[in-house]
Amino acid sequence: MFRRTLFGALAASTTLVGAALAQDRPGEGVTVRPVIGLITEEYFQSRILFRALEDLGYTVATPLETEIQTAHLSVGTGDGEFYPIHWQNLHQAFFDESGGDEVLERVGPFVGGMLQGYLVDKASYDAGVTDIGQLSDAAVAARFDADGNGTADLAGCVPGWGCERVIEHHLTEYGLRDTVTHNQGSYNALMADSIARLTSGNSILYFTWTPYWVSGELVPGAHVEWLSVPYTSLPDGVEADTEIDGLNLGFAVDSMYILARDEFLAENPAAARLFEMARLDVNDISAQNLLMSKGEDSSADIDRHVDAWIEEHRSDYDRWLDAARAAVAN
């Protein structure tokens, strides 16, 4: 009798411990396949999510790294479960091309207050160049001619990115085809050249976005200024809010969402709830990206940045995890 009671108590205790562990790690036994872009400055926010998934028991597979448009297609076709760097407005066309609402869901927003636009050096701005439309005047455009061919040189967007569509649309819409050259290629190389030109006292014209390290190196209001556009015009007649603080940047003021397959979210309520809860300040990403631009750009460095962010935001991070676990318990 004693043995049965003892063994029964032990079995019950083991069951309770197992249930507690299962609730603490609801993703145990599930492998998640993330998709990320090729730009290393997006690893920080992605790895914060990876760490949270792992703390919930999920196994996070080595991410599929690919171009942004292909990243969307990969999630849409089931080659991955989620892509954490989806811009709601900028990537709308990629969302539609990848299956749209029938197979995908945008969860979040993960990061808000994201900006894009054109900037010039402060000296040019103070001299009166305040709107991109002014560069339709060849005399104004010549101020930004870096190679002597008579047109302004715009350090622009990487081919295949969403910003490429908008910039190319603007060049036609604002009558800039004959006076502005859209230089494309490695964005960091383009910006390194722009920074070197500014350091040498030359005028610069470039496209950028936040969060990114560029605005930590070329600080708006100190070294450079945002340009306005003549009026809002986006590709395919898309309508969006392109103004902030009374300035029309010409690009939609955007938010970053976690793009995930409907099927994955339905089968994994803990991950779905984590994606809903996760929030990251745009300035935290810019600050980390600036560290990378200063040489802290190894994989180990990025993991260390992730560790530091989690410790600094421990209460918020734990709240994400608690909500995710509760989604399964309920």
Instruction: Give pLDDT tens digits for 234-267.
Output: 998 889 999 999 999 999 999 999 999 999 999 9
Task: Record the tokens describing residue 293, joined without a space.
Answer: 């631009």
In DSSP terms, 36 is beta-bridged to 65
Pick the closest to residue 150 from 162, 158, 142 (CA basis). Answer: 142
Task: Express each pLDDT in 135-165 by its tens digit.
Answer: 999 999 999 999 999 999 999 999 989 999 9
DSSP letters spanning 63-114: PEE--HHHHHHHHHHTS-SEEEEEETTTTHHHHHHTTGGGTEEEEEEEEEEE
Task: Express each pLDDT in 188-246 by its tens digit.
Answer: 999 999 999 999 999 999 999 999 999 989 999 999 999 999 999 999 888 999 999 99
pLDDT at 21: 58
pLDDT at 23: 83
Cβ burial, residue 219 (10 Å; 0-12/13-18/19+): exposed
pLDDT at 4: 56
The answer to whether 218 and 192 are in contact (CB under 8 A) is: no
pLDDT at 6: 57
pLDDT at 329: 81
**Phi-psi domain of 181 (left: phi exceeds 0; alpha: psi -120 through 50; beta: other):** beta
pLDDT at 12: 52
Q: What is the mean pLDDT of residues 15-31?
A: 75
* CA 304 to the chain's CA centroid: 20
Element (H, E) at 236: none
Three-class SS of residue 240?
A: coil
pLDDT at 281: 94
Q: What is the mean pLDDT of residues 81-85?
A: 98
Q: What share of the chain in percent tops pLDDT 70?
A: 93
Three-class SS of residue 313?
A: coil
pLDDT at 22: 66
Q: What share of the chain in percent tops pLDDT 90?
A: 86
DSSP letters spanning 44-64: HHHHHHHHHHHHTT-EEPPPE
Asked whether residue 16 carries a pLDDT value surpassing 50, the answer given is no
In DSSP terms, 247 is beta-bridged to 244
pTM of the model: 0.81
